[in-house]
């Protein structure tokens, strides 16, 4: 677990139903597990860093992300971010694959 010697900032969180690309979610979940943080904490951290134009990860974590992308077959890049469209093939959410 990551430990920080800082004053914690209280926040109010809400439950949300966010739709996200399947392989991307698998990589995010794997990274959260690797970092021993919740998926929500990971997304908050990435977003807050992005809002300030900062990179959220050190090189060792970026290397882990590369490994997770290969394991889960994530081939999307930042260049794809504004080009994504829904697949016409329905996704079976009950299938583990």
Total tally of structural domains belonging to the chain: 1
Tens digit of pLDDT for each residue in 64-74?
A: 999 999 999 99
Q: C-alpha distances in angstroms, 34 versus 50, 61, 80, 86?
A: 21, 9, 25, 29
pLDDT given at position 25: 97
Tens digit of pLDDT for each residue in 10-61?
A: 999 999 999 999 999 999 999 999 999 999 999 999 999 999 999 999 999 9
Model pTM score? 0.81
- Domain annotation covers residue 42: yes
Which region, left, alpha or beta, applies to residue 78 given φ > 0 means left and ψ of -120 to 50 means alpha? alpha
- The span from the CA of 70 to the CA of 59, in Å, is 17
- Domain annotation covers residue 91: no
Is residue 1 pLDDT above 60, yes or no?
A: no
Q: Which domain holds residue 32?
A: 22-77
pLDDT given at position 7: 86
**Residues 5-13, mean pLDDT to the nearest whole number:** 86
- Domain annotation covers residue 43: yes
DSSP string, 1-36: -----S---------------HHHHHHHHHHHHHHT
- Domain annotation covers residue 71: yes
Confidence of residue 6 (pLDDT cuts 50, 70, 90): confident
């Amino acid at each position: 677990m990551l430990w920080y010697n800082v004053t914690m900032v209280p926040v109010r969180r809400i439950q949300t139903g966010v739709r996200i690309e399947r392989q991307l979610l698998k990589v995010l979940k794997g990274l959260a597990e690797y970092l021993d943080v919740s998926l929500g904490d990971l997304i908050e951290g990435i977003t807050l860093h992005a809002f300030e134009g900062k990179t959220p990860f050190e090189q060792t974590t970026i290397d882990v992300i590369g490994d997770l992308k290969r394991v889960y077959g994530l081939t999307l890049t930042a260049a794809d971010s504004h080009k994504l469209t829904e697949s016409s093939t329905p996704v079976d959410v009950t299938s583990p694959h």
